[in-house]
Structure 1
Amino acid sequence: MQNALRSICIVGGGTAGWMAATLLSSVLRGSGVQISVVESADIPTIGVGESTVPSIMDFIQASQINLKDFIQATSASFKLGIRFDDWLLPGERFFHPFGRTGKDINGFEFYQAWLKSRADGSDAAWLDYSPGAVMAQQQRFMLRPKQPQNWVQASYAQALHLDAVLVARFLRELCQKRGVQRIEATVDKVELDQRVFIHALILDNGTRLKSDFFIDCTGFKGLLIEQSLQTGYQDWSDYLPCNRAVTIQTENVAPPAPYTVATAHDAGWRWTIPLQHRSGNGYVFASQFCSDDQALDTLLSQVSGKRLNEPRVIPFVTGKRKKIWHNNCLALGLASGFLEPLESTAIHLVYKTLVHFIKHFPDRDFDADNTQSFNQKIDQDYQEIRDFIILHYCTSKRQDSDFWRWCQTMPVPDTLREKLRVFQQRGQLEHTPGQFFSSDSWYAILEGMQLRPQKYHPLLDAFNTQDLARILNDNRQQILSQVQKMPSHDDYLQAHCPAR
């Protein structure tokens, strides 16, 4: 192609910057495109994206990374889902598993068959039919086989808990072996041309760096996308008022569990992310309902194990850039936007943004329709995740603090309001192409929040009650049989991929 890109400059390292360099160095191998990363030694990684979703496994595969090497180098543990404590009411808990729940019956979605079975008198819980949930409950694990032998093995999915600093280090070393140029410097000035495209960067070492395309991984400040190109920010604080997080790392006091724990508190929620060598902890809170000191006291009173670092307070504004790709600049990671880490989607959004970018990969003509199509797709991804996170708040029955009382009457986007209205009528959820959270994920939260539809699908009444009960009972037994053959999560880690 005569007008092909010749160079891509990534500004900022950290998880987002080195993920971009890693995936692009794999996809663009042999293309002649030169990739460089400008990284300052003085700017630390924020490192809050330490819990992931199953797309991390797709990133590892697409980037041609050896999974065992990656896990050992990043002290990672496996993750089967998220346990939500005290969200519905204090003392109540539920689980959001990765993968499928149940097995569709005669063309009908399993959720509908389960609703029918409950109406027929069954007391089996929704998650009794989730292999991932049963594995998590029993703290058992094995990597899902590439060629599953049965529906149980095919139905669960895994993600990772990982050390963000070690991830950036691992990916940086890998990229440099692949020929990615690392420039240790800070950007002093950004030069724009008459089209308001980025022409060059002036670095603090005096270098003038030109490139065809730039990827902004400079965190919340958005040095290129916002400070230079001024694309603007869509603020979603009206929907999601949490705007600060306080974080701390602690020693493990028990073997790492194969799931993240999200515990609701008076002004937000607290995460626990167990890695092989330590645990990550944080309290995400709304400053209008809680001071930094109160948040820190809450966090420190709840964590177990010796503290390994000083607490950090991280302010943020929930939302996204109005344009994540503008002219010859793509924003990635915190530079593109921030949705609180309740469903561990930060690293997923980095990967998904890169996947969209590769599908819409530009030449030096920078076709405006191509860029617009990209922005529409990533906007939909952000909106979907935003609505899914809001679901956890707007369905809570807690009224024991000002924050949770606010949630009782909180604003809900029309997109989510309509989805809930249709669900409450007959338990159906529209699934759109490209959607990340499956219907099973929505059902897990809705059931955890004790929201059930008024009716099930009327054609389910054609099922023989005894036959349906037998099929569902067999499904549960098959799950238990498979899970009981698995090793414990800790035994699996120690046998196959202990941290180095």
Structure 2
Amino acid sequence: MTHSKSDSGKHIRYVIAGGGTAGWMAAAALARFAPPGTEIALVESDAIGTIGVGEATIPQIHLFNGALGLDEAEFVRETKATFKLGIEFDGWLREGETYMHAFGAIGRRAGLLPFQHYWLRAKQLGFAKPLMRYSLNELAARTLCMQRGRRAQGAPEMPYAYHFDAGLYAAHLRRFAEARGVVRHEGLIEEVARDGESGAISALRLNGKREIGGDFFFDCTGFRALLIGQTLGTDYEDWTQWLRCDRALAVPCANGGDFTPYTRAIARKAGWQWRIPLQHRIGNGLVYSSAHLSDDEAAEVLLGNLDGAPLADPRPIGFTTGARREMWRGNCLAIGLSAGFLEPMESTSIHLIQSTISRFLSVLPSGNPDPAIVNWFNAQCEFEWARIRDFLILHYHANAREGEAFWDGVRAMDLPDTLNAKIAQWQASGFIHREHEELFTEVGWFQVLVGQGVEARGYNPLADAMPEGDLRKLLDGTEAMLVEEVRRMPTHLQFVQTMLKTVKPQGVPA
């Protein structure tokens, strides 16, 4: 790469400690957007495995892939991806009951009010149907259908995300990044060198005494948090008082069952199980509380609830849910698991990597980072993580699984004030407020509050201005339009197969 100088007269050298999804997403983004001449190095060791818990995403992944200019069909082929229209929560309220947090709109807004107020009024009048009947994404998901774009006039968009192999995604991004000048260094980081005067990180020392110097460092070392935690001593805020699971087992299995365009999160007696269908296998895992379930019992539960034969032994993962109090300190930024851990029930892990990278690029430092910028950055991260935390807590807390110690405990726990306020506002009048730029929208909260059995006592009285006959037409007309839209869709399997046929074979010029 050609060299340029910052305002301090030095070449800007970025060093990424660790690979995996976080490291290679950072490398690809920097390679694409950093000023010409920026030096980018990534240090990883084949001897250290990656966690790769999250293989499901949310629709914001399109922003990242699109910004890089990745071809979607090629991405789907290279990562063995399938499509995702939402997440089904099975048994979270009661055994045998399911609901879906689907992407996209629920119903149609009318006048000043969002749909939930009209639905709540119709519910009081006795003719509201389950939310599924007013959700294009859920209707398509339940019938195993998939499409892009709109066919019928007036139909809503159908936003989607992906299920993919996180290891293959990292490899895809590695090829992208290395083709644009990122230099990968193989080796174990044995020491993190610091400037004796400022305390800033100055270099990574690898086995064999090689030294990789830099101006700014990204900690993508996973739970070890080698730079942000072990070296810089940044505090970690523990959230296990609310999110009490501390263990996971992950295992792939052979394909079987429905080829679902949605993720499944299935409640178990001391946690929950994920199911993520890919083209070549199904990703499975059990997230659980070790205080309520032994590792052997967890393995028995997981292996006893697979769609096909296991393709490996279950891989144990221990974690402490929480987040760094400062994700950016000095000349170091934590990305991914080094920044914190929120369990993957709402598929936020890869999004948090993406949002951290995007936020960093919006304030890209050209020399020593200004404390005012760093303070703003950390405040934004703190807000984002805490609001996602609240959304996850709601799934656990609002349950009616009585007689199970784990679920009884989370139902009785004290909640963060921010979540208490959200629930109280909904219960009072069906009101949901999306604060600032919190990740989950009013529609997302609406689906989970209803799905978890949190009842609203009323609704905005402006909804009463609509004559009852018109209210019926609003609900029935919306449902009929969505059902007709889904009727025209190909199946998820047909959609994936058709997309793969559009990709040029590897090695063939486009």
Q: TM-score, normalised by structure 1?
A: 0.97
- Following superposition, the deviation at residue 133 of structure 1 comes to 0.7
- Percent identity of the aligned residues? 38
Task: Decide whether the 8 Å contact of 1:243 with 1:316 is kept in 2.
Answer: yes
Paired with 1:377 and 1:361, the residues of 2 have a C-alpha distance of 15
Aligned to 1:494: 497
Aligned to 2:161: 159
1:115 aligned onto 2:117: no
Paired with 1:255 and 1:162, the residues of 2 have a C-alpha distance of 17
1:18-33 alignment runs, 5 A limit? 18-28=24-34, 30-33=35-38
Paired with 2:156 and 2:495, the residues of 1 have a C-alpha distance of 16
Task: Decide whether the 8 Å contact of 1:74 with 1:170 is kept in 2.
Answer: yes
Q: Secondary structure at the match of 1:320?
A: strand
Structure 2 gap ranges (5+): 1-5, 506-510
Aligned to 1:253: 256
Match of 1:291 among 279, 291, 294: 294
Task: Decide whether the 8 Å contact of 2:242 with 2:410 is kept in 1.
Answer: no
Which amino acid counterpart does residue 74 of structure 1 have in structure 2?
Answer: T
Task: Decide whether the 8 Å contact of 1:250 with 1:280 is kept in 2.
Answer: yes
1:462 aligned onto 2:465: yes
1:346 aligned onto 2:349: yes
Q: Secondary structure at the match of 1:284?
A: strand
- Following superposition, the deviation at residue 309 of structure 1 comes to 1.1
Task: Decide whether the 8 Å contact of 2:119 with 2:128 is kept in 1.
Answer: no
Paired with 1:38 and 1:306, the residues of 2 have a C-alpha distance of 36
- Following superposition, the deviation at residue 208 of structure 1 comes to 1.6
Aligned to 1:408: 411
Paired with 1:431 and 1:261, the residues of 2 have a C-alpha distance of 25
Aligned to 2:267: 264
Q: String of CA shifts for 1:169-199, please: whole Å, max 9, x gaps.
A: 1111111111111111111111111222101
Task: Decide whether the 8 Å contact of 1:360 with 1:371 is kept in 2.
Answer: no
Task: Decide whether the 8 Å contact of 1:247 with 1:283 is kept in 2.
Answer: yes
1:36 aligned onto 2:38: no
Match of 1:233 among 236, 251, 256: 236
Aligned to 1:321: 324
1:423-442 alignment runs, 5 A limit? 423-442=426-445
Paired with 1:393 and 1:199, the residues of 2 have a C-alpha distance of 43
Match of 1:174 among 157, 173, 176: 176
Task: Decide whether the 8 Å contact of 2:271 with 2:287 is kept in 1.
Answer: yes
Aligned to 1:361: 364
- Following superposition, the deviation at residue 5 of structure 1 comes to 6.4
Paired with 1:5 and 1:384, the residues of 2 have a C-alpha distance of 38
Match of 1:189 among 165, 188, 191: 191
Paired with 1:275 and 1:78, the residues of 2 have a C-alpha distance of 9
Q: Secondary structure at the match of 2:377?
A: helix
Aligned to 1:101: 106
1:75 aligned onto 2:80: yes
Q: Secondary structure at the match of 1:230?
A: coil
Aligned to 1:85: 90
Q: Secondary structure at the match of 1:96?
A: strand
Task: Decide whether the 8 Å contact of 1:15 with 1:168 is kept in 2.
Answer: yes
Relative to structure 2, which stretch is displaced further, 352-361 or 274-283? 352-361
Task: Decide whether the 8 Å contact of 1:5 with 1:213 is kept in 2.
Answer: no
Paired with 2:352 and 2:432, the residues of 1 have a C-alpha distance of 23
Match of 2:388 among 378, 385, 390: 385
- Following superposition, the deviation at residue 363 of structure 1 comes to 2.4
Q: String of CA shifts for 1:189-242, please: whole Å, max 9, x gaps.
A: 111112221011111132221111000000001000001000010000111110
Which amino acid counterpart does residue 45 of structure 1 have in structure 2?
Answer: T
Q: String of CA shifts for 1:446-470, please: whole Å, max 9, x gaps.
A: 1111222111101111111101211
Paired with 1:400 and 1:174, the residues of 2 have a C-alpha distance of 52
Which amino acid counterpart does residue 171 of structure 1 have in structure 2?
Answer: L
Aligned to 2:19: 13
- Following superposition, the deviation at residue 158 of structure 1 comes to 0.4
Structure 1 gap ranges (5+): none
Task: Decide whether the 8 Å contact of 2:189 with 2:207 is kept in 1.
Answer: yes
Paired with 1:399 and 1:215, the residues of 2 have a C-alpha distance of 45
Residues 385 and 69 of structure 1, relative CA distance in 2, 3 Å threshold: same
Paired with 1:322 and 1:475, the residues of 2 have a C-alpha distance of 45
Which amino acid counterpart does residue 182 of structure 1 have in structure 2?
Answer: R
Relative to structure 2, which stretch is displaced further, 223-232 or 352-361? 352-361
Which amino acid counterpart does residue 341 of structure 1 have in structure 2?
Answer: P
User: Which ranges of 4 or more aligned residues in structure 1 deviate by more than 6 Å?
Assistant: none
Paired with 2:269 and 2:302, the residues of 1 have a C-alpha distance of 12
Q: What is the aligned length?
A: 496
Which amino acid counterpart does residue 292 of structure 2 have in structure 1?
Answer: F
Q: Secondary structure at the match of 1:403?
A: helix
Task: Decide whether the 8 Å contact of 1:255 with 1:490 is kept in 2.
Answer: no
Residues 344 and 181 of structure 1, relative CA distance in 2, 3 Å threshold: same
Task: Decide whether the 8 Å contact of 2:303 with 2:310 is kept in 1.
Answer: no
- Following superposition, the deviation at residue 433 of structure 1 comes to 2.3
Paired with 1:287 and 1:121, the residues of 2 have a C-alpha distance of 44
Which amino acid counterpart does residue 31 of structure 2 have in structure 1?
Answer: S
Relative to structure 2, which stretch is displaced further, 233-242 or 432-441? 432-441
Paired with 2:451 and 2:464, the residues of 1 have a C-alpha distance of 26
Residues 397 and 5 of structure 1, relative CA distance in 2, 3 Å threshold: farther
Q: Secondary structure at the match of 2:304?
A: helix
Aligned to 2:508: none
CA RMSD of aligned residues (A): 1.5
Task: Decide whether the 8 Å contact of 1:5 with 1:362 is kept in 2.
Answer: no
- Following superposition, the deviation at residue 150 of structure 1 comes to 4.1
Residues 413 and 5 of structure 1, relative CA distance in 2, 3 Å threshold: farther
Task: Decide whether the 8 Å contact of 2:190 with 2:205 is kept in 1.
Answer: yes
Task: Decide whether the 8 Å contact of 2:273 with 2:284 is kept in 1.
Answer: yes
Which amino acid counterpart does residue 205 of structure 1 have in structure 2?
Answer: G
Task: Decide whether the 8 Å contact of 2:430 with 2:459 is kept in 1.
Answer: yes
Aligned to 1:59: 64
- Following superposition, the deviation at residue 370 of structure 1 comes to 0.3
Q: String of CA shifts for 1:318-337, please: whole Å, max 9, x gaps.
A: 00111101000000111110
Aligned to 2:3: none
Paired with 1:233 and 1:11, the residues of 2 have a C-alpha distance of 19
